[in-house]
C-alpha cells in the first residue's frame, strides 16, 4: 500500500542547496522533507569543491551552521597565479577591502547541515529511489518515491528541485517551457587527494603549455591537487608517477618552491560544462543550485551559487506561506540569474585564461600570457579578479531575511540556532 506524507515543501536532493533550503525554511517555521537517492554515508563522504566566498561563510554562520566552519576552515587572503615560471599573488585583502575566502570542504558543510537537521528533528529520507515529480503545474504537486521497497507519495505546496545537474526535476519541465543556455568544454580535471602537508599557504593556479594545474588544500595534512586532462581520460592511465611528473613540470618555477609529495589516496576525473536554465522555475517547481546552472570549477563558484539561490528561495517561500503573496516567488529567477551569469562570465574567463584549449596555436597561447601579464600588473585587472573570486554580497532580499532572522535568534549551547 502506498504511504502518504504531507508537507509544505518537498525538496529533492540533499546537496548543499537542498539541505540549506530545508534549514532556512525551518527557521521560518515552514515544514519540508528532503528526499535523497544516495545513502547518508555517501553524501557525507563525496569529495567536491571547498572554496567558500565571504558571503557564503556569513550566510552559514548567521543561520547557525557556521560554528565548525569558523573553527576548522582556513581563511585565505589571496591566491597565486603562476605562469612563465613565475608566481604572482593576488592580494584579496588589499584589493577588496579586507574580504577573504575560506577553505572548508563541501562534504563538511553537508555534515554540519545534516547534523542541524537531526538536531531539529527534521526528516531527510536517504536512499529514496525512483523519485518522480507530478502535477507541478497545479497548486497541489506530488512527489512519489520508494524507500526500502515501500511506495510513498508526498503531497506538498511546492517542490524544490535541488537534485543537481543530472537530477529528475529539470527534465520534468515540459520541453520549451525553459531555455537552456549551454557550452560543453573539451577539458577535464584529474583531481587528487594527497596525504601531505600543503605545498603552498594559498592556492596556486598554474598556466603551462602542457595544461593547467591547481594546488589547493583541505587540511594541514591533506592536499587537493588538480591537473587538466582530456574529459574522457581513463583514471587508470594516470599512474602516480605520471601525476607527480606532470605536476612538477606544470608547476615549475624559478622561485624557491617545492611541491610536497605524499600518498595519493583518491583520484577522479571532473568534466566541465557551462549551463543556465532560464527561468529557474516552472509552475510550483523551483530549481536551485546545479539543477539550474553549472559552471566550470576554475572560479570555485558552484557551491557558492547553490547556497545563494536558496538564500533567495527560502524567504520567497516564507513570504507566500506567511502572507499569501507570491511577488518574491515570481521574481525568483530574475533575482538569481544576474549573479549566475556573473559567475558564468568569471568562470569562463578564468578557464580560458589558464587552460590549454583545443586548437590553441602559438598566437592564442601568446595572447593568453599577455592577458595574465595584464591581470597581475594592472591594479584594476587584479582588483576585478579579486572581487569576483571573493564574491559579491547576497541579493538584498536574502540579506534582509537574514538580518530579520538574526535579530530574532540566539545560539544554543549545542551549536544550533533556535528562534
- Exactly one of 73, 279, 283, 297 binds ligand PHB (CB under 6 A); that residue is 297
> Binding mask 180-209 vs ligand PHB (x if CB under 6 A, - otherwise)?
-----------------------x------
- Exactly one of 38, 74, 342, 356 binds ligand APR (CB under 6 A); that residue is 38
From the list ligand PHB, ligand APR, none, which binds 300 (C-beta under 5 to 8 Å, kind-based)? ligand PHB
Q: Which of 402, 82, 377 is nearest to 251 (CA)?
A: 82
* Least distance CB 266 / ligand PHB (angstroms): 12
Tell whether residue 14 is a contact of ligand APR (CB under 6 A).
yes
DSSP 221: T
Q: How many residues bind ligand PHB (CB under 6 A)?
A: 9
Tell whether residue 53 is a contact of ligand APR (CB under 6 A).
no
- Exactly one of 136, 243, 306, 343 binds ligand APR (CB under 6 A); that residue is 306
175 φ/ψ angles, rounded to the nearest 5 degrees: -55, 135
Distance between CA 81 and CA 233 in Å, rounded? 26
Which residue pairs, CB below 8 angstroms and at least 24 apart, start in 342-346? 342/388, 342/392, 343/295, 343/299, 343/301, 343/304, 343/305, 344/274, 344/276, 344/293, 344/295, 346/299, 346/301, 346/388, 346/389
Q: Which is nearer to ligand PHB, 15 or 50 (CB)?
A: 50
Cell readout for 392 is: 559579491
Compute CA 133 distance to the chain's CA centroid, rounded to the nearest angstrom: 24
> Binding mask 356-395 vs ligand APR (x if CB under 6 A, - otherwise)?
----------------------------------------
- Residues with Cβ within 8 Å of 56's Cβ and at least 6 positions away in sequence, in order, are 303, 304, 307, 308, 391
Cell readout for 143 is: 512527489
**Beta partners for residue 181, in sequence order:** 276
Cell readout for 222 is: 591533506
| 201 catalytic per annotation | no
DSSP 38: S
Q: Which is nearer to ligand PHB, 82 or 224 (CB)?
A: 224
Tell whether residue 224 is a contact of ligand PHB (CB under 6 A).
yes
Identified catalytic residue from 26, 76, 107, 355: 76
Cell readout for 78 is: 589571496
Q: Are 223 and 196 a contacting pair, CB within 8 Å? A: yes
Tell whether residue 107 is a contact of ligand PHB (CB under 6 A).
no
Q: Are 305 and 398 a contacting pair, CB within 8 Å? A: no
* Least distance CB 177 / ligand APR (angstroms): 20
Q: Which is nearer to ligand APR, 128 or 243 (CB)?
A: 128
Cβ atoms < 10 Å from Cβ of 17: 29
Which sign does the torsion angle of CA 62, 15, 340, 233 carry? positive
Identified catalytic residue from 107, 208, 267, 301: 301
From the list ligand PHB, ligand APR, none, which binds 66 (C-beta under 5 to 8 Å, kind-based)? none
| 267 catalytic per annotation | no
Class of residue 349 by CB neighbours under 10 A (exposed 0-12, middle 13-18, buried 19+)? middle
Q: Which is nearer to ligand PHB, 274 or 333 (CB)?
A: 274
Q: Are 402 and 311 a contacting pair, CB within 8 Å? A: yes
- Exactly one of 274, 290, 340, 350 binds ligand APR (CB under 6 A); that residue is 290
- Exactly one of 48, 68, 331, 356 binds ligand APR (CB under 6 A); that residue is 48
From the list ligand PHB, ligand APR, none, which binds 131 (C-beta under 5 to 8 Å, kind-based)? ligand APR
- Exactly one of 11, 49, 136, 185 binds ligand APR (CB under 6 A); that residue is 49
> Binding mask 40-69 vs ligand PHB (x if CB under 6 A, - otherwise)?
---------xxx------------------
224 φ/ψ angles, rounded to the nearest 5 degrees: -115, 115
* Least distance CB 73 / ligand PHB (angstroms): 12
Distance between CA 384 and CA 316 in Å, rounded? 31
| 374 catalytic per annotation | no
**Beta partners for residue 37, in sequence order:** none
Q: Which is nearer to ligand APR, 283 or 302 (CB)?
A: 302
| 301 catalytic per annotation | yes
Q: Are 213 and 250 a contacting pair, CB within 8 Å? A: yes
Taking CB positions, which residue lies at the least distance from ligand PHB?
Answer: 216
Cell readout for 181 is: 543556455
- Residues with Cβ within 8 Å of 287's Cβ and at least 6 positions away in sequence, in order, are 161, 162, 169, 170, 277, 280, 281
| Residues belonging to the active site | 76, 205, 297, 301, 389
The site for ligand PHB (CB under 6 A) is made up of 49-51, 203, 216, 224, 297-298, 300
The site for ligand APR (CB under 6 A) is made up of 12-18, 35-38, 43, 48-49, 106, 128, 131, 162-164, 167-168, 289-291, 302-303, 306
Amino acid at each position: 500500500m502506498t504511504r502518504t506524507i504531507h508537507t509544505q515543501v518537498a525538496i529533492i536532493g540533499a546537496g548543499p542547496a537542498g539541505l540549506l533550503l530545508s534549514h532556512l525554511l525551518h527557521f521560518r517555521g515552514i515544514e519540508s522533507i528532503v528526499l535523497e537517492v544516495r545513502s547518508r554515508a555517501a553524501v557525507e563522504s563525496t569529495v567536491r569543491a571547498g572554496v567558500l566566498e565571504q558571503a557564503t561563510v556569513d550566510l552559514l554562520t548567521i543561520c547557525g551552521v557556521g560554528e565548525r566552519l569558523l573553527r576548522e576552515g582556513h581563511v585565505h587572503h589571496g591566491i597565486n597565479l603562476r605562469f612563465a615560471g613565475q608566481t604572482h599573488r593576488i592580494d584579496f585583502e588589499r584589493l577588496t577591502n579586507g574580504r577573504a575566502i575560506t577553505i572548508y570542504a563541501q562534504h563538511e558543510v553537508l555534515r554540519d547541515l545534516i547534523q542541524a537537521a537531526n538536531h531539529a528533528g527534521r526528516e531527510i529520507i536517504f536512499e529514496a529511489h525512483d523519485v518522480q515529480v507530478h502535477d507541478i503545474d497545479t497548486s497541489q504537486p506530488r512527489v512519489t518515491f520508494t524507500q526500502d521497497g515501500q511506495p510513498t507519495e508526498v503531497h506538498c505546496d511546492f517542490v524544490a528541485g535541488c537534485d543537481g545537474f543530472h537530477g529528475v526535476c529539470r527534465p520534468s519541465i515540459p520541453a520549451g517551457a525553459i531555455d537552456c543556455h549551454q557550452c560543453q568544454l573539451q577539458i577535464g580535471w584529474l583531481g587528487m587527494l594527497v596525504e601531505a602537508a600543503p605545498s603552498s599557504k594559498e592556492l596556486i593556479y598554474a598556466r603551462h603549455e602542457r595544461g593547467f594545474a591547481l594546488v589547493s588544500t583541505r587540511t594541514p595534512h591533506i592536499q587537493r591537487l588538480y591537473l587538466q586532462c582530456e574529459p574522457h581520460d581513463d583514471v587508470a592511465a594516470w599512474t602516480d608517477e605520471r601525476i607527480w611528473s606532470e605536476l612538477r613540470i606544470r608547476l615549475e618555477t624559478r622561485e624557491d618552491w617545492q611541491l610536497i609529495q605524499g600518498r595519493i589516496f583518491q583520484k577522479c576525473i571532473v568534466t566541465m560544462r557551462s549551463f543556465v536554465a532560464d527561468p529557474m522555475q516552472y509552475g510550483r517547481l523551483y530549481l536551485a543550485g546545479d539543477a539550474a546552472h553549472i559552471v566550470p570549477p576554475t572560479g570555485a563558484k558552484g557551491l557558492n551559487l547553490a547556497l545563494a539561490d536558496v538564500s533567495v528561495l527560502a524567504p520567497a517561500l516564507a513570504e507566500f506561506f506567511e502572507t499569501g503573496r507570491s511577488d518574491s516567488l515570481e521574481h525568483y529567477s530574475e533575482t538569481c540569474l544576474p549573479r549566475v551569469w556573473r559567475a558564468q562570465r568569471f568562470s569562463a574567463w578564468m578557464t580560458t585564461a589558464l587552460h590549454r584549449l583545443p586548437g590553441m596555436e602559438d598566437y592564442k597561447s601568446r595572447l593568453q600570457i599577455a592577458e595574465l601579464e595584464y591581470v597581475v600588473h594592472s591594479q584594476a585587472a587584479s582588483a576585478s579578479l579579486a572581487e569576483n573570486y571573493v564574491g559579491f554580497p547576497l541579493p538584498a532580499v536574502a540579506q534582509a531575511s537574514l538580518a530579520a532572522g538574526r535579530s530574532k535568534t540566539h545560539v544554543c549551547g549545542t551549536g544550533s540556532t533556535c528562534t
